[in-house]
Amino acid sequence: MNAGLREGFYVRRGKRALDLVLCLLALPVAGPLIVLFSLLARLDGGPGFYGQARVGRGGRLFKCWKIRTMIVDADARLDDYLASNPAARREWDVAQKLRHDPRVTAFGAFLRTTSLDELPQLWNILVGDMSFVGPRPFTPLQTDIYNGISYYALRPGLTGSWQVGARNDDSFATRAIHDSTYARRVSLWLDLGILMRTARVVFERTGR
């Protein structure tokens, strides 16, 4: 079952080829930035990188890498914060994120608004865990609240239609709509258009 995934040469071969070409073009610039940002993230005594299990194509788990943007032990502290803040609990239940997350460091806030914290995902793309364009990867704990199937036919994306669309406003549940629409329409021109829109999002610093 292809879960509504559009067929064609681009989906079968071209998309992966584009990923590899873009990775090779990006690494000479992104590589030094990744090293610099990881060193700056270590200044508070924590690690420079943060790897978290995410659900990939076919439901396979992989470790998704980012520059660390939160305080050390942020995951362990989240439950305590939500338990003491009902408004934040409601926001988290709907969106699976917090608009004003107290766990984010000052340097981490800069990285997030520019989306530069996601540069290490070039490694995930290079090894085939992810694609430049695809659904936003989610965690194993979020599997039960994801109400679609198209996601599992695709590699998760560094960027995608949800990421450059209403990413700051949509609920987590609406991601499935973006994913199924993308799966039906995926093409070289659609991916190039999303990549160009992503560049604008980064330039305007509207990431989170």
Using CA atoms of 80, 115, 117, 107 in order, give the dihedral in degrees to the nearest 10. -70
Cα end-to-end span (Å), the chain: 33
Quote the pLDDT of residue 3.
66
Domain boundaries, the chain: 9-69+104-203
Taking a C-beta distance cutoff of 8 angstroms, is the pair 19, 125 a contact?
yes
Query: Which tokens go with 147?
Result: 């109400």
Taking a C-beta distance cutoff of 8 angstroms, is the pair 173, 145 a contact?
yes
pLDDT in tens, the chain (208 residues): 566 787 789 999 999 999 999 999 999 999 999 999 999 999 988 999 999 999 999 999 999 999 999 988 887 788 888 888 888 888 888 877 888 888 889 999 999 888 899 999 999 999 999 999 999 999 998 898 888 899 999 999 999 988 887 655 567 778 888 899 999 999 999 999 999 998 887 777 655 5
Taking a C-beta distance cutoff of 8 angstroms, is the pair 208, 167 a contact?
yes
Quote the pLDDT of residue 74.
83
Quote the pLDDT of residue 110.
92
Quote the pLDDT of residue 152.
94
Quote the pLDDT of residue 90.
87
* Dist. CA 37–CA 43, nearest whole Å: 10
